[in-house]
Structure 1
């Protein structure tokens, strides 16, 4: 059936009659204004729609990371190398997670409570917490992980963190840790990745370091292993990780992270330049400067580390003289090291704290300047002051021996010593600057460099050095006990200067038990004052963490970095793709 009858609206009939009466010019004017009106309405509608919509992250995309050395221990108890720790931080998760700003975030834990004056820590595990194989995370898993960390036969790098801590299972989802005495930074230890006991319990403790589970792990972290690529020798050359939908803090936005491994820094850099990888960490300052100048994205963050020269007064007696330590510090231009060796990727320091922690201390005690760089504009004047410090104490320059000498009835001392350090390029260059600076005030300095393993085993552990140029990882907790308490003078303690002072011992003991951060800062400020006066070490700089990053990544925040893997602390918030949605649909 057809309908041939046309329907006319009154307004349409009026328009048709008007158009019939329009001249050609009037029709053109009419069409111009009608088109303008339509376009204006469309623009207003588009603008209104755009104003009412927001851009949000979208799931999807893949990221390619490059790293040196293939992993062998993707296990939070055993990870030492960066490649191991990077993958462990993505595959495993702990009861809590530390944000880039240092905030404690519940991860596997639903909540926690600090009880009994700081000697008991209670945790309730989330009901939704599961491992990558679907098994629930329980108190048994947490208890198993801690007990394996404490077991000497496992040789865990985390063992010291758990010494003297007892673990009690309250229920399947509740666990309690008991400490012998209050220790405020303990909460940070509970970020330790949890092992699935239903898998690892079949492995004897002494066999854990040799298990294939260290190569193909199952955790509960934001990413799980999708596939592993191996070279002809069976060594992993790449890992493909995919986002874990049931991760406790929400499925990560980036769908895949691919890790590729290279034998050395040169091969890693070549891969970056050939666009085989998008991200690479622990980049040397010189390379970062060159790539940054070429337009690459360089992200930096302060490392929770300090580098300095530690004086061994037991082996080299000249360092027992206060004027020697004063003069050596006065003669050093720290900014020269920061600018020449580190190319600005560092901050000069005057104390045992990383630069960002020192700034926090200065904020609490504004009357003190805790981390100011030594003056560097008048080197000649500083050298003259250094020489004057020595001469006032009886030192004189021996023209024949070309060294400062101090004669007493008992002995004749020369201002001569050995400076020992690693063969890392930055440390070799720093040592050369120190040698030149000190020779200008009459010192005779011999530089000795060692492979890092040799340095640790044969120099640092037995304390066989005059002066040691070295770095210390302070960490997020500001706990300096291991580095400066007199009980830590010998291996495995880290008191490299073998410093002894009953007042600082008491301060360090009190500070680590205080739950009030401002109170701890005030105590550490007192500690700083004593160390600044006695100068058992010459503090030089805090290096930056340098990360070459894909320009596609959004949502990244690095914050403070203790180890390279800390960059992934909020990886679940990173994203590569976006979408627009109406504001009303946002939660």
Structure 2
């Protein structure tokens, strides 16, 4: 009731009192009336999905997010020009349409004109330009940043943006899933301050959910579609009704999700997270290591949902002229044949992975099993291959051609504290090569030092995770042109014949020509084995009472939310 309503009621009361005096109405006998309290209206609680992760987020931005907690929140809060779609494809998101020239070198995207940031400011091409330039900053690191190094971007209109690629790439749409940053909030923020600045814990995106609360225990997110529309400043300020309350309403351009509230709860370790799922404190959990994941497998009411990923655990070999003993493809095949990758997946990785037989994930459209015949685990065959390549076996120890002592290899990897899974994989490879007859030293290094050693070429082998991307493109990893200080060919491999296959596989063409090109490349890689594939990581989610998820190939933990608009809590939850 507003002030005007109060005034009307007061006038009516005064009139009735006045009329009562004029008409001399008889007084009613006094009676004791027991007041009945008016029940307070109650609203049903919002449909809240609670997911647990290990760790507390500190940098919730698409460029600086590193931990699982950070990437989970980024996947809910931010969005890109295109988004993941069913069957491994891509769909429009912030862009309505796109075109490319015949060469695949120039891509033009038309942005939606009805989309705003979560603070109400319209999304424009300036935001796209700002995001790409931030990714190209000298301070930006990682596979995502390196993929934009040879891309030029320009705004050709308020809602039109154009990308010019130094090297044509048919699969550029995968890069366009990169979530955008708001230029109007960050244009004056140095990139070095982005990870720790105010925006890192008060993010503003264009994704399906907006961050409503954040502390060391949880993050609370609500649908962005239910944000009130931005209020335009009126030319003249009318008298405001202090009793009026604005009611949030769905923004017409945003679909409303079934989940009315998402809580992401943070736990100190995996044991605490698993216990929270078992006790019903959370409805979902991700990132659990083998021990906890195995224990949850048989729990009643808990479902295991597996998402194939584009993260490849592999052995990168130093194929520079300084290591001629590894130049023969037979040696590389022998090293791969000595590793029982099925046992690696089933034991060390606890089944949360898939054996890798190529540098393309099996769930990708580009994979063809016939073109990538697997190298089977066969130690006897490995011995034969080494002998054929000129190696000599004496007293169970191998000596390389022109060598005088038992061959010694150093395997680099990250510490177990940084990645227990990867460190355990490296130890498994060391043991396999030791049984083969090599002397092997396993050296754990911090990630930055490891990358420095790889770039300098001061290593023999390294067990690493490689982010292959949603659209397969191994050109940066193996092309001869990428053997340079800023390139990604850290193995130093150079093969002109393979270069032609690499270029053909990333060229623009019809689906038929692209499929044929990838078959040829897969066959060429199988023949050479320049990088030894071990296993494809699987993103495993355990959930109770949650429906609507449709697993597909993903690149990051946040990609799980590609279909979050359709997630629903089970009615019997």
SS in 2 for 1:545: strand
Provide the residue aligned with 1:539 in structure 2.
533
Tell me the TM-score normalized by structure 2.
Answer: 0.78
Gaps of 5+ in 2: 1-43, 226-250
Provide the residue aligned with 1:508 in structure 2.
502
Q: Which among 415, 421, 437 is matched to residue 426 of structure 1?
A: 421
Q: 1:220, 1:247 within 8 Å by CA — same for their partners in 2?
A: no
The 5-angstrom pairing of residues 190-269 of structure 1 reads 190-204=176-190, 207-229=193-215, 236-245=216-225, 246=251, 248-269=253-274
1:507 & 1:571 partners in 2: Cα distance? 38
Q: Which among 549, 553, 559 is matched to residue 556 of structure 1?
A: 549
> Displacement of 1:293 after TM fit?
1.9
Provide the residue aligned with 1:114 in structure 2.
100
> Displacement of 1:416 after TM fit?
2.7
SS in 1 for 2:368: helix
Deviations 1:123-157 (A, max 9, x none): 33223212222222223333333333334467797
SS in 1 for 2:280: coil
Q: 2:392, 2:400 within 8 Å by CA — same for their partners in 1?
A: yes
Q: 1:96, 1:105 within 8 Å by CA — same for their partners in 2?
A: yes
1:337 aligns with 2:329: no
1:397 aligns with 2:401: no
The 5-angstrom pairing of residues 376-395 of structure 1 reads 376=377, 382-395=378-391
CA distance 1:394–1:210, shift in 2 (3 Å): closer
Provide the residue aligned with 1:311 in structure 2.
317
Q: 1:222, 1:247 within 8 Å by CA — same for their partners in 2?
A: no
SS in 2 for 1:79: coil
1:346 aligns with 2:341: no
Q: 2:97, 2:109 within 8 Å by CA — same for their partners in 1?
A: yes
1:151 & 1:389 partners in 2: Cα distance? 46
Q: Going by fraction, where is helix more abundant, 1 or 2?
A: 1
Provide the residue aligned with 1:325 in structure 2.
332
> Displacement of 1:59 after TM fit?
11
1:387 & 1:498 partners in 2: Cα distance? 26
> Displacement of 1:254 after TM fit?
0.4
2:319 & 2:108 partners in 1: Cα distance? 45
Larger radius of gyration: 1
> Displacement of 1:386 after TM fit?
2.8
1:277 aligns with 2:287: no
> Displacement of 1:212 after TM fit?
0.2
Tell me the TM-score normalized by structure 1.
Answer: 0.77
2:429 & 2:142 partners in 1: Cα distance? 37
Provide the residue aligned with 2:372 in structure 1.
370
2:362 & 2:368 partners in 1: Cα distance? 10
Q: 2:371, 2:519 within 8 Å by CA — same for their partners in 1?
A: no
1:455 aligns with 2:450: yes
Q: 2:454, 2:491 within 8 Å by CA — same for their partners in 1?
A: no
Q: 1:59, 1:575 within 8 Å by CA — same for their partners in 2?
A: no
2:160 & 2:389 partners in 1: Cα distance? 64
1:222 & 1:152 partners in 2: Cα distance? 31
1:576 & 1:250 partners in 2: Cα distance? 18
Provide the residue aligned with 2:437 in structure 1.
442
> Displacement of 1:472 after TM fit?
1.1
SS in 1 for 2:456: coil
SS in 1 for 2:297: helix
Q: Which among 302, 307, 318 is matched to residue 301 of structure 1?
A: 307
2:356 & 2:143 partners in 1: Cα distance? 29
Q: 2:505, 2:517 within 8 Å by CA — same for their partners in 1?
A: yes
CA distance 1:504–1:217, shift in 2 (3 Å): same
Moved more, 387-396 or 472-481: 387-396
Q: 2:51, 2:284 within 8 Å by CA — same for their partners in 1?
A: yes
Q: 2:127, 2:180 within 8 Å by CA — same for their partners in 1?
A: yes
Gaps of 5+ in 1: 1-57, 230-235, 377-381, 580-587
1:169 & 1:393 partners in 2: Cα distance? 55
Q: 2:361, 2:367 within 8 Å by CA — same for their partners in 1?
A: no
Q: 2:168, 2:507 within 8 Å by CA — same for their partners in 1?
A: yes
Q: 1:59, 1:255 within 8 Å by CA — same for their partners in 2?
A: no
1:288 & 1:221 partners in 2: Cα distance? 30
> Displacement of 1:480 after TM fit?
0.8
